Structure 1
Amino acid sequence: MSDASDRTRRDDPNGRNSSSAGDRTPPAVAVVDAETPGNVGTIARAMKNFGFEELLLVDPPELDPDGEAYGYAGHAREDVLPNATELSFGELAENYHTIGCTAVTNEDDRSHVRYPYSTPADLAERLPTVEAPTALVFGRERVGLTNEELARIDEICSIPASEEYPVLNLGQAATVTLYELRTLTVSETQLPNLERTRAPEPALDRLYGQWGALLEELNHPDEKRDKTMRMLRRVFGRADLTEREANTLLGVLRRATERPAED
């Protein structure tokens, strides 16, 4: 684990953090005074899941390579966790545009310790325009970030949750936030990004024709058939059936239409 001076020297030979629109890096993730090594490992794993690399630790517990943190980190034990930087809260606030994550907010403009705030989804839209080195800051498991710490932070982020119980544990809060911000770091996921292809109109027309045949075979009342067919068209229109789905339904309807004659 490196310290803050090592990180500063890596960023700029003159001891300054450098950033420009052309070389923006994803936000760092800072964890303040984590209570257990497992919390750090869980957050490191979430970072690895969603493409975040820079882990900053303020007053961390001891992270034994054979202990809980590395056990919880999954593949993040190979890079995110061992490359974490230890620094003070003052160094964090001085060198980064900080975003403090908290469940408890004030809801009027008379106090600016926890107000105004953004949601993680809001940040996903706005952070690409922030040119300063940025850090998402998470606090302690039980009490989060103190008001004194939040007063030194540039902006506040809060996850929308049930009013009855809005408090997430540290690992949950980090995972939800990083998931919402994955568009800043991940260009491809394990899920194929395929556009849905709507069935061609002739296939849909055959499907609707078969529905009409079934309604006739079932002696559906004549005065209700037009209305029923209109309803079916709108249901399937909203569904955007693929050609395979349309053909499968067509086959089922044909068997249903033919069944009364077999009996």
Structure 2
Amino acid sequence: MSGVDEGDETDRTEDPTHAGTDADAGANTDPDPQTRRKPVVVVVEPETPGNVGTIARAMKNFGLSDLKLVDPPELKEDGEAYGFAGHAREDVLPNADEVTFDEIVANYHTVGTTAITGEDDQSHERFPFKTPVELRESLKTVDAPTAIVFGREGRGLNNEELSQLDEVCSIPADDDYPVLNLGQAATVLLYELRDLTVDETQLPDTAVTRAPEPDVERFHEFFGDFLEATGQREHHRDKNALLVRRLLGRAHPTEREIHSLLGTFRKANVKLEHADHLAAKYDEPVYPRE
């Protein structure tokens, strides 16, 4: 993933890495998040308590709770970590386990994270690598305890550590500055994995139910009457009617949208008809025609 630096940057010649969570991804058919194993998140030798708190908060945001720390700094309840953790201070952070790197390797399907990757297959530690989206799709087929492993702020995971992990993930970023802050990198990756970890979000259902076809056809009739009442030549009316039909075909209007349009054009047609009636009654010119 785009590199990890404490809150600063990581020298691109060094070994910046991110690592991740033990993502228990799920079965081959992408089961419901409630039944799929969720990844654990591992942070190797974090230097700044605030970054640990930020990662805990990102975990809470995206449905994860199991945080494991390798040789962490002291996390005081009145310190940075708890200050940055938000509501994760209530569960994710106080329940974090201190583990060794070897324990993670021995017990999980592991995904290491790094900003700097090998450009070809000559760099076996860092190649091949997956983007977060590719990792999400890959983990859908993994039915095993999974750990996403993030590295140190200044150096990330080194090549020896990456060589012991099963997969490598990197966040695509601008080549001039691909290294992300550790907390930022974790947030980006966990966001992209949310389909594997979040049961429901605060966002409403965005599924759109297309209006019934009879209502849509009634709109086209009203629109045709409108075009005729405005005095357009027949070939222009036919062309414009077709364009509007194509437009609605792509738009998939809802029932409410179609009913609003029906009401608008019904009123417009009534007024145009009334204008024609008055023009005929008082021998006035009708609405200018082409």
- TM bin, normalised by shorter chain, reads 0.7 to 0.9
SS at structure 1 position matched to 2:180: coil
Q: Which of 1 and 2 has higher RCO (CA within 8 Å, sep 6+)?
A: 2
In the alignment, which residue of structure 1 is the partner of 2:17? none
SS at structure 2 position matched to 1:130: coil
Report Cα offsets for 1:144-170 as digits up to 9, x if no partner: 222232222211012233445433222
Q: CA deviation at 1:67?
A: 1.3
Further displaced range: 160-169 or 227-236: 160-169
Report Cα offsets for 1:79-104 as digits up to 9, x if no partner: 11011011222332233221011222
Correspondent of 2:47 among 24, 35, 52:
35
Whole-angstrom CA distance in 2 between matches of 1:105 and 1:81: 30
Report Cα offsets for 1:25-58 as digits up to 9, x if no partner: 3111011222311111111111111111110112
Report Cα offsets for 1:140-197 as digits up to 9, x if no partner: 3343222232222211012233445433222222112112222222222223436321
Correspondent of 2:56 among 37, 44, 53:
44
Correspondent of 1:225 among 237, 241, 244:
237
Query: Contact (CA 8 Å) 2:43, 2:69: kept in 1 or not?
Result: yes
Whole-angstrom CA distance in 2 between matches of 1:140 and 1:259: 72
Q: Does 1:197 align with 2:219?
A: no
Q: CA deviation at 1:59?
A: 2.2
What are the within-5 Å matches in structure 2 for residues 155-234 of structure 1?
Answer: 155-193=167-205, 195-234=207-246
Tell me the amino acid that sits aligned with residue 65 of structure 2.
Answer: E
Q: Does 1:150 align with 2:187?
A: no
In the alignment, which residue of structure 1 is the partner of 2:79? 67
Q: Go from structure 1 to structure 2 and tell me whether the alpha carbon gap of 1:201 and 1:175 turns closer, same or farther (over 3 Å shift).
A: same
Whole-angstrom CA distance in 1 between matches of 2:43 and 2:184: 13
Larger Rg, first or second structure (1 or 2): 2
Further displaced range: 74-83 or 201-210: 201-210
Q: Go from structure 1 to structure 2 and tell me whether the alpha carbon gap of 1:222 and 1:179 turns closer, same or farther (over 3 Å shift).
A: same
Correspondent of 1:106 among 118, 135, 139:
118
In the alignment, which residue of structure 2 is the partner of 1:125? 137
The structure in which a higher percent of residues are helix is 1
Report Cα offsets for 1:87-135 as digits up to 9, x if no partner: 2223322332210112222231122111101222222223243233211
What are the within-5 Å matches in structure 2 for residues 52-63 of structure 1?
Answer: 52-63=64-75
What are the within-5 Å matches in structure 2 for residues 220-259 of structure 1?
Answer: 220-257=232-269
Tell me the amino acid that sits aligned with residue 78 of structure 2.
Answer: D
Whole-angstrom CA distance in 1 between matches of 2:191 and 2:224: 47
Q: Go from structure 1 to structure 2 and tell me whether the alpha carbon gap of 1:257 and 1:162 turns closer, same or farther (over 3 Å shift).
A: farther
Whole-angstrom CA distance in 2 between matches of 1:106 and 1:219: 68
In the alignment, which residue of structure 2 is the partner of 1:89? 101
What is the TM-score normalised by the length of structure 1?
A: 0.82
The alignment of Structure 1 onto Structure 2 pairs a total of residues equal to 244
Query: Contact (CA 8 Å) 2:37, 2:144: kept in 1 or not?
Result: no
Over the aligned positions, Cα root-mean-square deviation in angstroms equals 2.6
Percent identity reads 61
Whole-angstrom CA distance in 2 between matches of 1:211 and 1:143: 65
In the alignment, which residue of structure 2 is the partner of 1:5? none
Q: CA deviation at 1:239?
A: 1.1
Correspondent of 2:38 among 26, 41, 47:
26
SS at structure 1 position matched to 2:133: helix
Tell me the amino acid that sits aligned with residue 204 of structure 1.
Answer: V
In the alignment, which residue of structure 2 is the partner of 1:16? none
Whole-angstrom CA distance in 2 between matches of 1:78 and 1:94: 29
Unaligned 5+ segments in structure 2 are: 1-25, 28-34, 279-286
Unaligned 5+ segments in structure 1 are: 1-19
Whole-angstrom CA distance in 2 between matches of 1:161 and 1:257: 55
